[in-house]
Amino acid sequence: MALIKRLRAIIKRIRLYIQITEMGPIARRYFVKNGFDGSMTMLGIIVGAWVVNVTQPEIIVTSGLGACLAMGISGLSGAYMTERAERKRNLKDLECAMVTKLNDSVISDATRFVSFYAAVVDGGSPIITALISLSPFFLLLHGLIEVQTAYTASLVVTLVTLFMLGIYLGKIAKENALLYGIQTLVAGVATILIALLLGAV
């Protein structure tokens, strides 16, 4: 019971930090933009491997995980440093305006927290979507499906992920969610067609 109360208090505090810093919309943008990047990167890797007829799942999984790691570290470190710099500047401007230090205030705590929060969202989003795209190849590694099935399934789940990201964007914009989903889906299909054309040259 004490643990549940503790968790509720932590969640309440996190919500307060996000509200104070108005981090919600920024985090949503980080999540969608980098999730889109993760899916599109995997799409390029998978279609490229398909074009050159790579049949060893180890190659695709290793390449994909390498890209995951690079995107994750880039997002994590880049977002943390960028957000931290911006938030520290805002805090110092506020301190100047109020002619007082805010070192031990809830605003200072919120400033520190959202830098970490932004980094987790920014770095975690492309990793999640990339792993979704790679999931059929993990099944292939264990001999549960055939190689062509893995390619087909990977392309399908990646396109579905792109479509769902578009739907989410549409809901954020309070516009036609289906139209947004179709737009992100078209971007994915276009990537596949271009990669296939390049492979045929």
Task: Going residue by residue through the chain, which has 201 residues, state the pLDDT in tens, using 9 for 90 and above.
Answer: 677 878 888 888 888 888 877 778 878 888 888 888 889 999 989 998 998 888 888 898 899 888 888 888 888 888 888 878 877 787 777 777 776 776 777 777 788 888 888 888 888 898 899 999 999 999 998 888 999 999 999 999 999 999 999 998 888 878 888 998 999 999 999 988 888 887 655
> Do the domain assignments include residue 8?
no
**198 Cβ contact partners less than 8 Å away, ≥ 6 residues apart:** 51
DSSP state of 186: H
> Do the domain assignments include residue 97?
yes
The count of domains in the chain is: 1
> Do the domain assignments include residue 64?
yes
Instruction: Give dist(CA 181, CA 128) in Å, integer.
Output: 19
Q: Which domain holds residue 194?
A: 33-47+57-200
**pTM of the predicted model as reported, rounded to 2 decimal places:** 0.83
> Do the domain assignments include residue 10?
no
> Do the domain assignments include residue 11?
no
Phi then psi dihedrals of residue 154, to 5 deg: -65, -45
> Do the domain assignments include residue 15?
no
> Do the domain assignments include residue 175?
yes
> Do the domain assignments include residue 183?
yes
